[in-house]
Amino acid sequence: MDALQLRNDVCVSNCAQKYIHANHKIMEIFMEVQPIMVRKRIEEINTTQAALEAQNQQVTQNSQ
């Protein structure tokens, strides 16, 4: 194996390691943030549902 091939192999290996490390960091952050995002979305849905139920109740009362 000549020096150029060895340098290329080292370069590819370093690049792959950097990619793997970056991917792990992204996944780590995603796993931290995802439950927060889901919780906020559930709260938004519950708030919207409560508002719709109140609106339906008001319409029902007005139509009686």
For 6-63, the pLDDT digits (tens) are 999 999 999 999 999 999 999 999 999 999 999 999 999 999 999 999 999 988 888 8
pLDDT of 35 reads 97
First to last CA, the chain: 90
pTM exceeding 0.85: no
pLDDT of 63 reads 80
Whether the per-residue pLDDT at 64 is higher than 80: the answer is no
CA separation, residue 48 to residues 3, 35, 42 (Å):
65, 20, 10
